[in-house]
Structure 1
Amino acid sequence: MLSTRLGTLTMGTITLGAVAGVIFAATVVADDQPVAQSDATAVNPATTATAEMITVADEPVEPEISAPAIVEPEPFDYGECPPEARACVDLDGGRSWLQDNGQVTYGAVPIGQGGPGYETPRAGFHVSRKVIDDVSYVFDLAPMPFAVYFTSVGHAFHEGDPAGDSHGCVRLAPGDAEVYFHTLQVGDLIHIY
């Protein structure tokens, strides 16, 4: 607070706040003597407060921005999948991913799996064949696009609704099924646990 004594007149300036380089201030005049008035300010002979605007800088005031906290990603849970498997399926976790030498290359993505009485088998398998636009001859010609077979009895990765139960196949969403189809090759190890 700046205070100045002018004859019998005491003046003080109080800073009220600052916004974008402008300071708003109030001048308090306390005395029994009348003070000269301008057109913009009326002064009471008693204690009077007037407001004035003072420009501090031509540049806007930059707000302080704190850096976001660094969040370390949680390590990927490989479960029981061995590093040599090219595709892994975690039935209990409802997910699958592709990997190369134990490093995830795609996923994990949600999967649909066999419902009661049609459980998806758990074991290590090898890709036996691939058919881009197949159907199930056992289950009413149900479409099985981008089918990647891994058992001799018809279990495969294929495009379908991951939210519903299958007859033992591993269902993948449309984009995911295409990636699996184009990535997996005959002979690749599939591990389902």
Structure 2
Amino acid sequence: MRMLLAAVALMSVAGCTQGTVHAETPTAPPPPPVSSSVPTSSPAPPPSSSETPPPPPPPVVKPTPCSISDGACIQLSTNQSWVVRGDKIVYGPVQITHGRKGFETPLGDFPVLRKVKNEWSKPYNAPMPWSTYFTNSGIAFHEGSLTVPSHGCIHLDPAAAQYYFQNLALGETVQVIA
């Protein structure tokens, strides 16, 4: 089984696409029509408070750069990750490291596939505690160095790795953006 996992970990993912964030900005209501029966020399009476349109709602802004509303968001350019629920950050941002040159972390949306509490990487002869896998090629969140880039995985500090392991459900989305 470990041989199979090691072989799968060496495969690469191709054809991933980057997600796009769409901010919704409300438009201002149109101005009220000008009545031709009001003389131009005298000012129009102010509208009553019941006629004043309510102010527009504030813009809807995602709390992370990702377009998902539930799951994990990873932004490689800032070395940060978040867990979001219902468009709200419930954990993070946390510092991460990701794949080094030649072992880049793939971009795209991926489901959480499996979890292994005390994983061991045979190809790299290293522990991978709290592994939460989200690609078929062996890419996972796991406890690891926050100063040394990985071989594609997302390294987290011990507390964050445990949180992601315990709080991301199988099938839930992990979005990786540049």
Choose from 163, 170, 189 the match for 2:147.
Answer: 163
**Unpaired stretches in structure 2, ≥5 consecutive residues:** 1-60
Change (3 A) 1:109 1:183: same
Residue aligned with 1:115, SS:
coil
Runs of 4+ in 1 over 4 A off after TM superposition: none
- Alignment TM-score, normalising by the size of structure 2: 0.63
Question: Which structure has greater helix proportion?
Answer: 2
Deviations 1:133-156 (A, max 9, x none): 00112222x100000000011100
Residue aligned with 2:77, SS:
coil
- Tell me the number of residue pairs that the alignment of Structure 1 and Structure 2 aligns: 117
**Unpaired stretches in structure 1, ≥5 consecutive residues:** 1-74
- Alignment TM-score, normalising by the size of structure 1: 0.58
Q: Distance in 1 between matches of 2:139 and 2:85?
A: 23
**Alignment partner, residue 96 of structure 1:** 81
Q: Distance in 2 between matches of 1:118 and 1:127?
A: 20
Q: Cα distance, 1:161 vs. partner?
A: 1.2
Q: Distance in 2 between matches of 1:77 and 1:163?
A: 26
Question: Which structure has greater strand proportion?
Answer: 1
Residue aligned with 1:92, SS:
helix
User: What letter is aligned with 1:147?
Assistant: S
**Alignment partner, residue 68 of structure 1:** none
Identity of paired residues, percent?
Answer: 38
Using CA pairs under 8 Å that are at least 6 residues apart, name the structure with larger relative contact order, 1 or 2. Answer: 2
